[in-house]
Structure 1
Amino acid sequence: MVFWYTISTMSTSLNLAAELRALIASGALPDGARLVERELAERFAVSRIPLREAIQKLAAEGLLEQHPNRGAAVRTLSVTDIEEIYSLRMLLEGDAIHRAVQRMDAETLARVELVHRLLGEAASADKQGELNREFHALLYAPCGNQRQLQAIRELRGQVERYERLQARLMADTPAFQHEHEAILHACQARDAERARALTVQHLASAQRIILKAIQ
């Protein structure tokens, strides 16, 4: 009985972490928002045990900060935080695509091309964000390093709510899609060095836009 309770609690806490992560990414839980355990437990109809586990998980991912006697709040990123996160993303994502290029099969490239086209047609910021994540995830997956891919997901998660500003700012310009198209063409040509350079440039461009927006 204890075994099944533990599995159930773990499953609930993972689901709660996903729900809270989505609320933060969408801006429904904005920077500095306090997480009131009683209210959240009532909202999701759960006990506080899995809720606290979910909060601890998101704190470990850098999305929340915990204060003694005050609970948890959505972490507000400083300019330095964003610069550090993007520096790490450039290293990890540049390396991931560099190693992935030679392992990509025709099916993967076809899926990436389809997602790229759908992204260009997406009308909402939410759909743009979803397809943008899928575009990059498909390109990086063949690198085969699961720990590296997890680190990339967590770093992206920390700035995802700020990247929504980028999506809004770039909604009326083709620059976003042009950068993706260049990365895709480099992958199709099996040019690992160019794919890495273009990915780093793409992230640097995103960083500049987000820093300008929050400043």
Structure 2
Amino acid sequence: MTPSTERIVEQLESDIIFGRLRPHQELIEDALMARFDAKRHMVRAAIQELVARRIVVKPRSKSARVKDFTTSEVEEIYAMRTLLQGEAARIMPLPADHEALNALKEVHVRYVAAASVGADQNLIHKLNDEFHTHLFALCHNRILCKAIAFYTEASNPIRSYGITDEKWLRRAIAEHTAMIEAIENQDRKALETLVVEHMGPSRQRWETMRAGA
């Protein structure tokens, strides 16, 4: 992607993830061209990238729209995440590489700092993702990590529900801390449980908000 197209993608993805663009909402090319002062081909390229990221759909002969997830799609995505993340914890070499573990701790410190000062939600989201990228990289299986990243990205609009909520953040910080401690203590069973249960609150919040919509 060109830098200009990437800028459009990042902003629209943020709008979708944090609910500024809602499910089924149209992405009208002319409006996006005016908003971003961009050429039509740039807007179309950005929409194609969002379709590839599975957060926008583009039916034939119709405008692109923000994707809406069905309950069964959410179940399937989270079933895959459970399998993949549990496997990463199961095969992770313990004790972990010292340098890599320190890198994970450094990201955690930045995440806690951002959450503590009420930083921009995009930064908190980015640091949360960075933490999990470093965490699963400790399994030393690049193909598995790519699969985890794929399904993590697919679940972005679901995961983001409550991501800046104070109660959610406190729990996320506590669970991240517990994951680091499990790795340091070489407690594989605890780590396997944590990386799966950690997904629960955001999904439950999405289901609750969806039911009340």
> For 1:134-153, what aligned pairs fall within 5 Å after superposition?
134-153=130-149
Q: Secondary structure at the match of 1:165?
A: coil
Q: Which moved more, 1:132-141 or 1:149-158?
A: 149-158
What residue in structure 1 maps to residue 10 of structure 2?
Answer: 18
Q: What TM-score do the two structures reach when normalised by structure 1?
A: 0.79
Does structure 1 conserve the Cα–Cα contact (< 8 Å) formed by 2:124 and 2:164?
A: no
Between the two proteins, what is the percent identity of the paired residues? 26
Asked if 1:75 is matched to 2:71, the reply is no
Instruction: Map 1:90-109 onto structure 2 (within 5 A).
Output: 90-102=82-94, 104-109=96-101
Secondary structure of residue in 2 paired with 1:73: strand
Could you say what the CA RMSD is over the residues aligned between the two structures, in angstroms? 2.7
The one-letter code of the counterpart of 2:55 is: L
Deviation at 1:91, TM superposition (A): 1.4
TM-score, normalization by structure 2? 0.79
**Secondary structure of the equivalent of 2:181?**
helix
5+ residue gaps, structure 1, are 1-9
The letter for the 2-side match of 1:131 is L
Instruction: Name the structure 1 match of 2:172.
Output: 176
Give the structure with the larger helix fraction.
Answer: 1
Q: Specify which of 153, 157, 176 is matched with residue 157 of structure 1.
A: 153
Following superposition, the deviation at residue 35 of structure 1 comes to: 0.7
Task: Give 1:196's aligned residue.
Answer: 192
Q: Is the 8 A contact 2:86 2:192 kept in 1?
A: yes
Query: C-alpha distance in 1, partners of 2:164/2:149?
Result: 21
1:112 pairs with 104, 107, 110, which one? 104
Supply the distance in 2 between the matched residues of 1:149 and 1:212 (Cα, whole angstroms).
30
8 A Cα contact 1:125 1:164, kept in partner: no
Deviation at 1:212, TM superposition (A): 2.3
Count of residues paired in the alignment: 206
Residue 101 of structure 1 deviates from its aligned partner by 4.2
Aligned residue among 63, 75, 85 for 2:77: 85
The answer for unaligned runs of 5 or more in structure 2 is none
Residue number in structure 2 paired with 1:5: none
Distance 1:42 1:173, change over 3 A: closer
Query: Deviation per CA, 1:72-111, whole angstroms, max 9, x where unpaired?
Result: 0000112222222111111122223433444842222223
Letter in 2 for 1:200: V
Task: Deviation per CA, 1:30-68: give whole Å up to 9, x if none.
Answer: 222211112222333333224323322321321111123
